[in-house]
Copies of this chain bind each other. A is one copy, B any other.
Amino acid sequence: MTDRYHHGDLRRALIEAAVEALGETGPSALSLRAVAKRAGVSHAAPAHHFGDKAGLLTAVATEGFERLADALDRAWRTTGDFYAVGAAYVRFAIDNRPYFETMFRPELLHPDDPDLQRAEARSRAGLYRGAGDPPADGGYNPTALAAWSLVHGFAELLLAGNFPQAVADDPDAAFRAVATVTRFEVE
């Protein structure tokens, strides 16, 4: 199974190898050849399945958005609480750092990929739920924007190491404190 010429599910294996490598090097330093070596295939094998380096990262990002959407749905379903969804967003960023770090870097992706956009839409829908009325045609819901900005900014600044040590030591508590002092007036 492992040393066949036809791998079986090399696409899957490459994505997993990429996530591993991303955890060690970060998305901008990812090496396609290193991913291929990790999966035990030749250096040009990834290109066959993903076309591009950006194609591989797009596949990773797509899977990331799917997982994020799942996590947000689960949080909403089990608690019905708007803030719990936000906490789940932050948790996801911490637990799935390799995914999260590639999901919001359009310059490394194929941003127009249909699968990616579908997964993005699923995540957005899961996040917006509970933020009042959905936006009118072409418009936006300020409350939804505000909530997304808050949780996303918290996650980014946390991962980038811009917060004090105490935040990194107990991010959940820190986010709870942040959520406690923040009120969104649903209009």
Contacts and interface: CB of A to CB of B under 8 A. Distances in A.
Interface string A36-60: 0000000000000000000000000
Nearest to A107: B26
Most buried by B among A27, A107, A108, A155: A107
- Most B CB atoms within 10 A — which of A153, A161, A185? A153
A120 B164 CA distance: 13
A75 to B, nearest CB: 18
A1 interface: no
Interface residues of A, number: 48
A17 to B, nearest CB: 19
Nearest to A139: B166
Query: Sorted from nearest, which 6 A-B pairs have the closest CB atoms?
Result: A153-B153, A28-B28, A149-B153, A152-B153, A142-B177, A149-B154
5 contacts: A104-B157, A149-B154, A150-B182, A152-B156, A180-B185
Interface of A: 26-29, 104-108, 111, 120, 135, 138-140, 142-143, 145-146, 148-157, 160-167, 174, 177-178, 180-187
